[in-house]
Chains A and B, each alone.
Chain A
Amino acid sequence: ILNVEQSPQSLHVQEGDSTNFTCSFPSSNFYALHWYRWETAKSPEALFVMTLNGDEKKKGRISATLNTKEGYSYLYIKGSQPEDSATYLCAFRDDKIIFGKGTRLHILP
């Protein structure tokens, strides 16, 4: 069974501060790495799909990097805002997607 690990499990960040968290995944048989943002009482929404080693993706204040050789991806949030409060899931993909347990981000006003 593939293991996708995310750390930390939970994170409290002051509004305006920048933060980042990690996703670790198997480095063999890599196909794609997904990041999702999941707000409470809603469904997960795709942020990024990353496929190439060294990939960097950016959407507004959120960006992600990918290292397939060592099996990790970082998600960065610059200048955190209250609306960034959510659970951030990463998912490793071969023929199906396996999700990590997520990092729950709380932005403190």
Chain B
Amino acid sequence: DAGITQSPRHKVTETGTPVTLRCHQTENHRYMYWYRQDPGHGLRLIHYSYGVKDTDKGEVSDGYSVSRSKTEDFLLTLESATSSQTSVYFCAIGVQGALSGYTFGSGTRLTVV
């Protein structure tokens, strides 16, 4: 998607290993979000950021941490991956107060074996 990229697109990792997913934007948006998509659950918010070094937890934040050291990058880290974290992860960017919807990245498919 224009203006927002996620990396990697696919990853397979072993239980107990750390994993970092990257979301990069070129839109200079203040707000960035990490969601996970699971069958029967839709999109669930993990963490979000409302500015550099300003982050907050979403509804499923346990086992995840985030960092935002610059406007364009929002990193999601699984400190010690578990099989329950096998999912598709989406990053989104948005403008607070805007009447436009959020823009999503293409997703990262993570498999923890």
Contacts and interface: CB of A to CB of B under 8 A. Distances in A.
A43 B106 contact: yes
B48 A96 contact: yes
Contacts of A1: 59
Given A36-B101, A43-B105, A51-B99, A97 B45 contact: yes
Interface residues of A, number: 22
B11 to A, nearest CB: 17
Nearest to A34: B101
B113 interface: no
A108 B42 CA distance: 24
Contacts of A102: 42
A44 B37 CA distance: 11
B60 to A, nearest CB: 10
A64 interface: no
A25 interface: no
Interface of B: 1, 33, 35, 40-45, 48, 56, 58-59, 90, 92, 94, 96, 98-107
Leading 7 A-B pairs by shortest Cβ distance:
A46-B101, A101-B42, A43-B104, A99-B43, A49-B99, A34-B101, A44-B104
22 contacts: A1-B59, A32-B99, A34-B101, A36-B101, A42-B106, A43-B90, A43-B105, A43-B106, A44-B90, A45-B104, A47-B101, A48-B101, A49-B100, A89-B42, A96-B48, A96-B58, A97-B33, A99-B44, A99-B45, A100-B42, A101-B41, A101-B42
Interface of A: 1, 32, 34, 36, 42-49, 51, 89, 95-102
